[in-house]
Amino acid sequence: MRRFRRDPLGYIEDCALQSGAEVFRLPWGAWCVRDTELALTVLRDPVFHSGMSTFFGSMLPSRTAQVALGRAVRDLMRAHLPAYRQCVAGAAAGLGPVSQWPQAGPLLVYRCTADVLLHPGAPSALRQQMAQAVAAGLTARQPTMRQRARAEMLRPRLLSAITEHVRSRRTQGPAADEPRDVLDAVIGAGPEEFTDRTVADLYLLLFQSIVGNIGYAVAWSLLLACLHHGPGRSWPWPADWLVREAARHRPFVWMVGRPVPHPLEFGGLPFAAGTVLSVSPYLLHHDPQRWDRPEMFRPERWNEPGGQGPYLPFSAGPFTCAGAAVAHSLTSEAVTALAQDARLAVSGGDARPLVSGSVLPRPFTLCRTLKAPAQAALTKGGE
């Protein structure tokens, strides 16, 4: 475990290289699939994935309810894309010439999704608490005990305020035919017997996932692009390539696993019911048999015919994230806005991740210098 904590990604790469089997044991007792083909089989196996997604835990009563909620939130976020695109341009300008990352990522995303996460008519005190939670790092498990304690101190009070607001909304009844925000979507997808606290827990889970996953994906995209391209020049890659390559190179979710529902066999090994079997998107994204020079950050690979291997930053199979395409769009829009008419450079950062539940970038400073507007050429005679 000490070796794992020092370098989790390097540790599982070493385990995968040294293992002669298709599945190897992890330090905490779970198992991880080493072989890419077997990993894809596991992810798509209907028997292994029978039951419900572990993302929601036991908060929803059925897989049907999980799917309905995921789609409702996805459709709501997709409808918000035009407003987000307009807001993120102003938010990027508001960062100023120097900003501190990765914490600026979730803050930027929250600023541009605040009204769809919780509509403007919600209590201002609650909206302020949510902004404070984002600033404190509650959108992802932080890498140090001090950071985690600072963030988690806000959770009970925030949950209490959300629960009280849920109670108020449910008492008043629906205000419109369509959900006004993510909280409406959660209330609408849940059965009436849900407690107010369960609705609040579900909402906070989705809030953290949207703001944290997208915010840190933006941070990784900026950091890796700047580290692999000289300062003072425009990037040669479209935002779409850049965001995809960042999610391949440093997937925010680096390990996905679930308990085996009943005795099964994978890779010639028997697994008892309840055994946790995992697949690592990080390992699959760095398989040299499937990717050309996977250790390198190369956004141009996304324009090379046949240059891509198995890509699953949002998992795969029955439990692929319903909002994967929308999350990619939100990330790409933010990266585009930050790079628009500007030269970007970073200092203090490197590509080594901080792994604490998720793969987070180390702190870095982003310098954003606006390009001088092109001067119109003079006509003959100086007119």
Helix (H) or strand (E) holding 24: strand 23-25
Q: According to the model, what pLDDT value does residue 383 have?
A: 41
* Nearest partner of 243 among 140, 315, 333, judged by Cα: 333
* CA dist list (Å): 310 to 140, 202, 284, 287, 289: 26, 30, 6, 9, 11
- 23 has which bridge partners? 33
Q: Which domains does the chain have, with CATH numbers?
A: 2-371 (1.10.630.10)
Question: Which pLDDT tens digit goes with each residue over 38-90?
Answer: 999 998 888 888 888 888 888 988 888 999 999 999 999 999 999 999 999 99
* CA dist list (Å): 333 to 71, 88, 211, 242, 271: 21, 8, 14, 12, 43
Using the predicted structure, report yes or no on whether residue 97 has a pLDDT greater than 50. Answer: yes
359 vs 317, residue with greater confidence:
359
Question: Which pLDDT tens digit goes with each residue over 324-371?
Answer: 999 999 999 999 999 998 999 999 988 999 988 889 999 999 999 987
Residue 349 contacts residue 227 (beta carbons within 8 Å): yes
In the predicted model, what is the mean pLDDT of residues 241-246?
97
Q: According to the model, what pLDDT value does residue 120 have?
A: 95
Residue 310 contacts residue 284 (beta carbons within 8 Å): yes
Residue 63 contacts residue 52 (beta carbons within 8 Å): yes
Helix segments in 153-302, DSSP class H: 155-172, 182-189, 196-227, 239-249, 281-285
Please state, in angstroms and rounded to a whole number, the distance separating the CA atoms of residues 242 and 127: 32
* CA dist list (Å): 334 to 58, 112, 128, 355: 33, 10, 23, 24
Average pLDDT, the chain: 90
Question: Which pLDDT tens digit goes with each residue over 142-193?
Answer: 888 889 899 999 999 999 999 999 999 999 887 667 899 999 999 998 888 8
Q: What is 99-153 written as a DSSP string?
A: EEETTHHHHHHHHHHHHHHS-TTS-HHHHHHHHHHHHHTTTS--SSHHHHHHHHT
Q: According to the model, what pLDDT value does residue 51 have?
A: 80
Using the predicted structure, report yes or no on whether residue 253 has a pLDDT greater than 70. Answer: yes
Please state, in angstroms and rounded to a whole number, the distance separating the CA atoms of residues 104 and 126: 21
Helix (H) or strand (E) holding 257: strand 256-259
The letter for the amino acid at 202 is: L
Q: Which of the four pLDDT bands, split at 50, 70 and 90, describes residue 375?
A: low
Please state, in angstroms and rounded to a whole number, the distance separating the CA atoms of residues 133 and 155: 8
Residue 350 contacts residue 102 (beta carbons within 8 Å): no
Q: According to the model, what pLDDT value does residue 373 have?
A: 64
SS3 assignment, position 375: coil
Which contacts (CB < 8 Å, 24+ apart) does range 266-275 have? 266/22, 266/23, 266/33, 266/38, 266/41, 266/42, 266/48, 267/21, 267/22, 267/23, 267/33, 267/35, 267/38, 268/21, 268/22, 269/21, 269/22, 269/23, 269/31, 271/31, 275/30, 275/31
In the predicted model, what is the mean pLDDT of residues 202-223?
97
Please state, in angstroms and rounded to a whole number, the distance separating the CA atoms of residues 186 and 189: 5
**Both tokens assigned to 310:** 């198995």
Q: According to the model, what pLDDT value does residue 93 have?
A: 85
* Nearest partner of 102 among 145, 147, 149, 146, judged by Cα: 147
In the predicted model, what is the mean pLDDT of residues 121-144?
94
In the predicted model, what is the mean pLDDT of residues 104-129?
96
Place of tokens 């009563």: 61
Please state, in angstroms and rounded to a whole number, the distance separating the CA atoms of residues 68 and 75: 11
Q: According to the model, what pLDDT value does residue 232 have?
A: 67
Using the predicted structure, report yes or no on whether residue 382 has a pLDDT greater than 50. Answer: no
Please state, in angstroms and rounded to a whole number, the distance separating the CA atoms of residues 337 and 2: 41
**Both tokens assigned to 320:** 């692929």
In the predicted model, what is the mean pLDDT of residues 269-298?
94
CA dihedral 372, 377, 382, 383 (to 10 degrees): -100
Place of tokens 């391949």: 248
